[in-house]
A and B are shown apart, each in its own frame.
Chain A
Amino acid sequence: MTEAATAHRTSPVRRRRIKHLVLLLGAVFMVYPILWLLKSAVTPESEILGSFSPIPTAFTFENFVDGWTAGPGSGFPGYIVNSLLVVGGCVLGNLISCSLAAYAFARLEFRLRNTMFALMLAGIMLPYHVVAIPQYVEFQQAGLVGTLWPLVLPKLLATDAFFVFLMVQFLRGVPRELDEAAAIDGASPLRTFFSVILPLMRPALITTTIFTFIWNWNDFFSPLIYLSNPQQYTVPLGLNALVSTESGAGVGQLFAMAVVSLIPVVAFFIFTQRYIISGIATTGLKG
């Protein structure tokens, strides 16, 4: 805005340069920590601390090799398998359960529909920490604490109501004529859902996949309360264990594995940027 205020005094070329300078400087600040992390991951242990330059001066893979198996349990190969199991289950669960519910709210006629829709919206606002303790008690009584199920099962039951809402909003924009035509042709709601609605919902399903993946890959709180056996650790838990235990892992290994833990999220971001940006812009997904 200072720029707008001085607009009548500065030439357009100069203004453009200043603008880019500000943006570039900001970008440097934003990206510096990530670059320094990358650089430190490939720097020999003894040279990491005490250098703030984000440009590597030496190059070693040792941190990755050592860190790969340094954690408790079966190390990072095991953590990654567990994380993929959990995240895969969450994605599948959200895609199926949320799209089923969204179709019902958007298209079917039934008693208490408005009430249930309002309850669903209220559920979105509910902080997870408030229900975490009774949920823990339930899973404990079901004998599921210490397994990966408490991390996946809720998604199979559409507890990420946010995605139900996202899909209902999407279906509002899909012309009713399409599914009504199918109904007139004698298709059952199930048939209509699978052969007409689901293919049309592709963009909403992609957004759901992306954010379910990223959120659950990063999730720390739930695995922390439900998993205690290192064999079952997910990546964030394994990484955390590398810090706090007497695993003897130096900062180099720690940073190398931190990089490993971020790769899937950043890769997802690079390849699906368009969907992520429009998802946030239109729904306020926190990212």
Chain B
Amino acid sequence: MSITTKHGTTSAEPAAATPPRRSPRRGGVRRTRFGYLAVFLGPWTLGFLVLTAGPLLASVYLSLTDFNLLGNPTFIGAENYVQMFTADPRFFTSLGVTAMYVVVSVPLQLLLALGLALLLNQGVRGLSYYRALYYLPSLIGGSVAIGILWRTVFGYQGSVNQVLRLLGFEDLPNWVNNPTWSIWTLIALNVWTFGSPMIIFLAGLRQIPAELYEQAQIDGAGAVARFLKITLPMLTPLIFFNVILQTINAFQAFTPAHVISNGTGGPADSTMFYTLYLYIEGFTRYNMGYASALGCILLALIGILTLLNFLFSRYWVFYND
């Protein structure tokens, strides 16, 4: 899933989280007849109740039960959570693996995205071709096909090792089967998909008014000063947006880890992403109560992270308006 905080038009300002204003009408508001509302809003309302809100509440309830899908859920209070925090090293391993993945790959991804957007924004010939080439990995990076490709490229006989051997390295590992290195192959995969934040940055760079640069030039500001005093501050809302978006996405990564490790999160739990652990508990061991508790913690973690991001944003995000 993605989140969105921006306008549907080309403007770069964040959209208010309110529905469009009512059109002014004389004689008060005219409400739409219920029959029409049922047609327009019926599907969404049903979906929201049955497939979003309902399951969310059910998830909280199930997290307090012992449930294996066959019998009825047995209420056990907070036992799942107690187990998780006191007697489940795998829970902490998966948190650590996911945290490492997010903390390393998201900044690298955004740095590359920003760097290339700046380069491409300087009136490069063939811009649309470069943009397309750099963006393509973002579209397919999360697929099973690329997961399979990665296993081979980073395998013992893979391209990476062949190049390293040419450079004189010896005793090279099979990167995907090595507990120390396997997570780095997944990080590399996520960094490789920097194209979509790059396109967001590129669009943002075009929104910066040219007058600002002209004025700065008249005032004698050099290129570095212009970048630090104009480009960077004007881009901070988009940097913030991309940090939130990519963090949430990275937190929910599943397919690459599943494919690279054959669904085991191995070797030695080194690719045990949080979502993969949730999947294993819920859908291969049918510990659905426990998996629901993992889901609730995931929601809380993403919520807290996003909130922290928003709280810190006022110290570094610059809003022009």
Near A by CB (< 8 A), chain B positions 169-214 give: 192, 195-196, 199-200, 202-203
Q: Of A58-66, A68-76, A130-138, which binds chain B? A: A130-138
The answer to whether residues A190 and B36 also contact, given A23-B124, A50-B162, A157-B43 and a CB cut-off of 8 A, is yes
The total number of A-B Cβ pairs within 8 Å is: 351
Indicate if the CB atoms of B199 and A281 lie closer than 8 Å: yes
User: Once the chains are docked, how many angstroms separate the CA of A109 from the CA of B25?
Assistant: 11
Taken together as a complex, chains A and B put the C-alpha atoms of A236 and B142 apart, in Å, by: 11
Q: Which of A135-160 contact B (CB under 8 A)?
A: 135-138, 140, 154, 156-159
A107 CA / B144 CA spacing, docked (Å): 41
**A265 pairs with B140, CB closer than 8 A:** yes
| Segment touching A, from B14-22, B77-85, B89-97, B312-320 | B14-22
Q: Is B107 an interface residue, CB under 8 A from the partner?
A: no
The reply on B215 being an interface residue by CB < 8 A is: no
Using CB atoms, name the residue of chain B closest to A31: B133
> Contact partner of A23 among B52, B59, B119, CB < 8 A?
B119
Residue contacts A-B, CB under 8 angstroms, 30 given: A5-B223, A26-B134, A30-B133, A31-B136, A33-B192, A51-B162, A97-B43, A101-B40, A105-B20, A108-B40, A111-B31, A119-B48, A124-B4, A130-B296, A133-B59, A133-B295, A134-B62, A157-B48, A166-B4, A170-B8, A173-B8, A189-B32, A189-B36, A190-B36, A193-B40, A218-B140, A239-B144, A255-B149, A262-B140, A273-B128
Residues of A at the B interface (CB closer than 8 Å) are 1, 3-5, 7, 19-20, 22-23, 26-27, 30-34, 36-37, 40, 49-52, 96-98, 100-101, 103-111, 113-114, 116-121, 123-138, 140, 154, 156-159, 161-162, 164-166, 168-173, 176, 180, 188-190, 193, 204, 214, 218, 220-221, 224-225, 236, 239-240, 243-244, 251, 254-255, 258-259, 261-262, 265-266, 269, 273, 276-278, 280-287
Measured CB to CB, the residues of B under 8 A from A are 1-10, 15, 17-20, 22-23, 29-32, 36-37, 39-41, 43-48, 50-56, 58-59, 62, 69, 115-116, 118-120, 122, 124-125, 128, 130-140, 142-146, 148-150, 152-153, 155, 157-159, 162-163, 192, 195-196, 199-200, 202-203, 223-224, 227, 241-242, 245, 248-249, 251-252, 254-255, 258-259, 262-263, 275, 278-279, 282-283, 288, 291-292, 295-296, 298-299, 302, 306
